[in-house]
Amino acid sequence: MGIPALCVGLAHLAASRHITFDETLMFERVFDRDPVEISMVTGSLNVPGWNYALGVFVNKDTPISKLTLKQLDGIFGTERDGGYDGTNTLEAQQVIEALNKDRYGIGYSSVAYLTPQTKALAIAAREGNDYVELNLETLRNRTHPLFDEVYLYLDRVPGRPVDPRSEGKGVLALCSEPGRAGHGPTRCQIFAAHRRSGSRAVEEAGVSPVAH
């Protein structure tokens, strides 16, 4: 509801998953410009109560340990031309439960349900790229191809500073929060900021990320 709230004046700052095409059109119709988009956090790896990481999982006895996104598209895509010959299971926990029993199964699920009988595959964005393991560091530095993000959206009139009611300076001073013992931070430090048009939103908006 963040983007609609911006459009009807109920909010000056919206934390949201990535804006959709329809939401972009709504914002542009109201303000006649794109919103400022700031990449804020990626979520956690496996801290209960936070946003779990997503990955591709197989049974631990499966000889496969890594795949490219193109290969995954062949397995999970609508054409299914990558050798997949199984059934679809939709719920994340059910995917892992099925993989516990199926040495040759593969599934897309949440790391929250990972068991000693299952493992995450390393993923490469394309052929020739490095295969990246799923762990806290690769989520924090956004090198894992399946990392997720939460964004901040706000309106800014070109050539003018951000409306102080957006509290942009305070939000951009957010730092990594300590997680539970053994789990690391629950949220990842701010790394990037940009407008959807590709310009430097943070500098233009007159706010600066604070490193902690």
Report the CATH architecture of 54-139: 3-Layer(aba) Sandwich (3.40)
Q: Which of 126, 112, 133, 114 is nearest to 58 (CA)?
A: 114
The domain limits of the chain are 2-46+148-205, 54-139
At 196, is the pLDDT very low, low, confident or very high (cuts 50, 70, 90)? very low
The predicted-structure confidence for 70-106, as pLDDT tens digits, reads as follows 999 988 876 655 554 554 445 788 889 999 999 999 9
Q: Report residue 111 as tokens.
A: 């790391």
The pLDDT score that the predictor gives to residue 49 is: 66
pTM, 2 dp: 0.63
The pLDDT score that the predictor gives to residue 124 is: 96
Q: How buried is 101 (Cβ within 10 angstroms: 0-12 exposed, 13-18 middle, 19+ buried)?
A: exposed
Count Cβ atoms below 10 Å from residue 166 Cβ, excluding itself: 23
